[in-house]
Amino acid sequence: MGNETFSHSDNVTVNEEYIFNRTDVKVIFIILYTVVFVPCFLGNMMVILVVTFSRRLRSNTNFFLANLALADFCVGIFCIYQTLFNYLINSWLFGDFLCKLYMFVHAFSYTASVLILVVVCVERYLAIVYPIKCRSVLTRSRLQMVIGLVWTVAAIYASPRFFYVETLRHFLNTGGMNIICVGNVHKHNKKLVDAVNLVFLYLFPLVLMCCLYLKLGVGLWKSSAALVPFETSNFFRMLIAMVTIFAVCNLPQQARIAWRIWGYNYDLASNFSTLLTLSTFLISYLNSCLNPLLYAFLSRNFQRGMRELLIRGKQRQRSNVLAMVYTKEDTTSRQVLRFHSFGRSSSGK
Three-state SS annotation for the chain: CCCCCCCCCCCCCCCCCCHHHCHHHHHHHHHHHHHHHHHHHHHHHHHHHHHHHCHHHCCHHHHHHHHHHHHHHHHHHHHHHHHHHHHHHCCCCCHHHHHHHHHHHHHHHHHHHHHHHHHHHHHHHHHHHCHHHHHHHCCHHHHHHHHHHHHHHHHHHHCCHHHHEEEEEEECCCCCEEEEEEECCCCCCHHHHHHHHHHHHHHHHHHHHHHHHHHHHHHHHHCCCCCCCHHHHHHHHHHHHHHHHHHHHHHHHHHHHHHHHHCCCCCCCCHHHHHHHHHHHHHHHHHHHHHHHHHHHHCHHHHHHHHHHHHHHHHHHHHHHHHHHHHHHHHHHHHHHHHHHHHHHHHHC
pLDDT on residue 247? 95
For the entire predicted model, the pTM comes to: 0.80
Q: Along the chain (349 residues), what's the average pLDDT of each consecutive run of 10 residues? A: 47 58 92 96 92 78 88 91 87 86 92 92 84 81 92 96 88 73 85 91 94 82 57 75 93 92 80 92 94 80 79 65 57 56 53
Instruction: Note whether residue 166 is domain-resident.
Output: yes
Q: What are the pLDDT digits (tens) for 26-79?
A: 999 999 999 999 999 999 999 998 888 877 777 777 888 899 999 999 999 988
pLDDT on residue 326? 58
pLDDT on residue 14? 46
Instruction: Note whether residue 131 is domain-resident.
Output: yes
Instruction: Note whether residue 4 is domain-resident.
Output: no
Q: What are the pLDDT digits (tens) for 48-63?
A: 988 888 777 777 778 8
pLDDT on residue 10? 40
pLDDT on residue 114? 93
Instruction: Note whether residue 337 is domain-resident.
Output: no
Instruction: Note whether residue 111 is domain-resident.
Output: yes
Q: What is the CATH number of the domain that holds 182?
A: 1.20.1070.10
Domain span at residue 127 reads 19-301
pLDDT on residue 325? 54
Q: Cα-flanking dihedrals φ and ψ of residue 180, to 5°?
A: -115, 150
Instruction: Note whether residue 200 is domain-resident.
Output: yes
Instruction: Note whether residue 13 is domain-resident.
Output: no
pLDDT on residue 86? 85
pLDDT on residue 39? 94
The tally of domains found in the chain comes to 1
Instruction: Note whether residue 345 is domain-resident.
Output: no
